A and B are shown apart, each in its own frame.
Chain A
Amino acid sequence: MRTARRSESSNTGTARRSESSNTGTARRSESSSMRRRLRSFAIEFWLPVLIVVLWWVGSARADLVFYPPLAEILGRFQDLWLFDRFFTDVIPSLRNMLVGYALSCLVGVGLGVVVAQVRIARHALEPLVHFLRSIPPVALVPIAILVLGFGPEMKMTIIAFSAVFATLIATLDGVRAADPVLAEVTRVYRVSGRDRLFKVILPAAAPQILSGLQVSLQIAFVVMITSEMLASTEGIGYLTILAQQTFAITDMWAGMLLLGILGYLFNLLFTLAERRVLHWHIGMRSQAKTH
């Protein structure tokens, strides 16, 4: 949370700076801001570029079994994931993950909002939920295999089940922590149930719900990979661990590369969506930070 706040405030800072330099009429300041931007671009990118270049050159020259040339890895990446295995493995993996995650979002937020309103339900559910959340999500995969078999239904179910608790708890806490005066005021003004839900309760709890949803997304991703590594004949995780076990080193690297890219992309997309949903809140937060 704290880091997030920090990066946001620094982002708005740079945005403001570039704006003011754009409106600046003096030519000199424009060219110097241009130079400054180039400089900061160079500072941000020199090391990543250097690492990739070193990896490329080093792995091409050295003849290490476990570190095949990067060019070969990229070639395998293309052949495997973009052509051969795209429909048979990449799509099923993503489908399982997205269906499971969507289920966990719906159930987590829905159940959380309802239960948070009913005190007895909250008291009844909380100990159970906290215990189930404490079980490492991947430990539930063997049970899921036992109960549901090896099919895609098992994977979607276990992804949804493991991921739901983070969202559920965040929603419960978020709704409960919402300003009690807000609840009183909506009641006094007799705001209808639906308006209360969509215009008062959910927006007030949105920051916490979203951070829960983000944790759920990470769990869903890990459980997707685990369920494929432990019990599958298809999927990105399955192919990657199979490649490792059969010493198909280049394929293994290609699999790790794809999983890494997916992990990064999921997080990126979520952050962008979150920023869109919470744009009002982020503004308030950076104001609140000043005092």
Chain B
Amino acid sequence: MAITSIRRFPATGKTRVAGSNALVVGAIAVLICLAVWEVGARGPLAGGPFPTVGAIAGGLVGLVGEATFWSSLGETLMTALVGLGLAVLSGVLLGVVLGSVDFVYRSTRLIIEVLKPIPPIVVMPLVLLLLGPTTEMGVFLVFYGCLWPVLIQTVAGVRDADPVLLDTARSFGFGRLQRAVRIVLPGAAAFIVTGVRIAGAAAFVIAVVSELVGGAPGIGRDLFVAQNAGLYAQMYALVFVMGVVGLAFNTGLGAFEKWMLHWHPSVRREVVA
């Protein structure tokens, strides 16, 4: 037993082989799923709500050829990124204030605790009433949803600042602002970037929600329209596009986190290992 288990500690060369094996196995599994789908869509489920793989691919090609698709996609990405950007700006500013002034932190703690777990779709009816089915509505919802993770992480990072460093800076005559910029913010950077990654993963999802349910312009609304018009192939193609964009968004955020924190011990250790 114990001897066989030694094989489970692979040499570096072996993991590379295992890595390419994993890719092959994954690709085969994807192909099998597509084949099952195709057989189902042609055979027992024909005429139902499952278009064939070919039809979905056709829908995808059709979409890619349309200018309106690209403007919709751009609209969605803009909504997500602008909302995220606003949330990061205000979350970090607010977080530094909340984190450095104990009285403010403790006064607002309960409010944040209560609002944090409430998803943006809950406040959407009100925002929809005030702003209508517009891009601004989507941006606001993204902002609202992304604010909490950034704010909470920033507060945690600021409160985690090394007191010895702060005292040293004070004794060297650093002012409040200088201390905030030179010591507190770099110290909190790891926390903040984690908050941005969490918020970023939510941004695209919230943008789609605001379009699909709230009717803001973007690929979410296109999906709703395609569903109501009975354009099933196009509908599946849109969902596929959303998956690809979501994957790209998350991968990009992961890379952003690594790039931002390349100097940070947690990332550097990962590289060494």
Contact = CB atoms under 8 A, between A and B. Distances in A.
B2 A136 contact: no
Given A51-B111, A264-B118, A267-B117, A136 B235 contact: no
A135 B107 contact: no
A128 B125 CA distance: 34
Nearest to A148: B49
Interface in B107-125: 107-111, 114, 116-119, 121-123, 125
A146 B49 contact: yes
A47 B250 contact: no
A264 B194 contact: no
Contacts of B232: 146
A143 B212 CA distance: 13
* Chain B: interface size category: 35 or more
Interface in B13-36: 21-22, 25-30, 33
A125 B29 contact: yes
A3 B223 CA distance: 37
Given A142-B224, A264-B117, A66 B205 contact: no
18 contacts: A2-B194, A3-B155, A66-B129, A123-B21, A123-B29, A134-B244, A138-B205, A138-B212, A139-B242, A146-B227, A147-B49, A184-B2, A188-B1, A188-B5, A226-B213, A252-B125, A259-B118, A263-B119
A136 B204 contact: yes
The prevalent SS among residues of B at the interface is helix
Contact of A143 (B21, B106, B119, B239): B239
B255 to A, nearest CB: 15
B156 interface: yes
A264 B232 CA distance: 37
A134 B107 contact: no
Given A124-B25, A139-B220, A244-B128, A48 B110 contact: yes
Chain A CB count within 10 A is highest, among B121, B191, B246, B249, for B121
Nearest to A65: B129
Given A128-B33, A135-B243, A139-B239, A184 B126 contact: no
Contacts of B108: 47
A225 interface: yes
B103 A225 contact: no
Contacts of B9: 180
Contact of A252 (B27, B126, B204, B235): B126
Contacts of A19: none
Interface string A200-218: 0000000000000000001
Interface of B: 1-2, 5, 8-9, 21-22, 25-30, 33, 48-50, 103, 106-111, 114, 116-119, 121-123, 125-126, 128-130, 152-153, 155-157, 159-160, 191, 194, 204-205, 208-209, 212-213, 220, 223-224, 227, 232, 235-236, 238-239, 242-244, 246-247, 249-250
The prevalent SS among residues of A at the interface is helix
A35 interface: no
Contacts of A143: 49, 235-236, 239
Interface of A: 1-3, 6, 40, 43-48, 51, 66, 120, 123-128, 130-132, 134-143, 145-147, 180, 183-184, 187-188, 190, 218, 221-222, 225-226, 229-230, 240-241, 243-244, 249, 252-253, 255-256, 259-260, 263-264, 266-268
B227 to A, nearest CB: 4
A261 B160 CA distance: 31
Nearest to A265: B117
A40 to B, nearest CB: 7
A142 B205 CA distance: 15
Contacts of A226: 121, 209, 212-213
A267 B235 CA distance: 33
A221 B117 CA distance: 10
A190 B2 CA distance: 10
Given A184-B5, A260-B118, A264-B114, A138 B213 contact: yes
Nearest to A144: B49
A8 to B, nearest CB: 12
Given A3-B156, A139-B242, A225-B122, A47 B2 contact: no
A243 B49 contact: no
B235 A142 contact: yes
B153 A3 contact: yes
Contacts of B247: 130-131, 134
Contacts of A123: 21-22, 25-26, 29
A188 B242 contact: no
Given A124-B26, A218-B119, A226-B209, A142 B223 contact: yes
Contacts of B155: 3
A188 B2 contact: yes
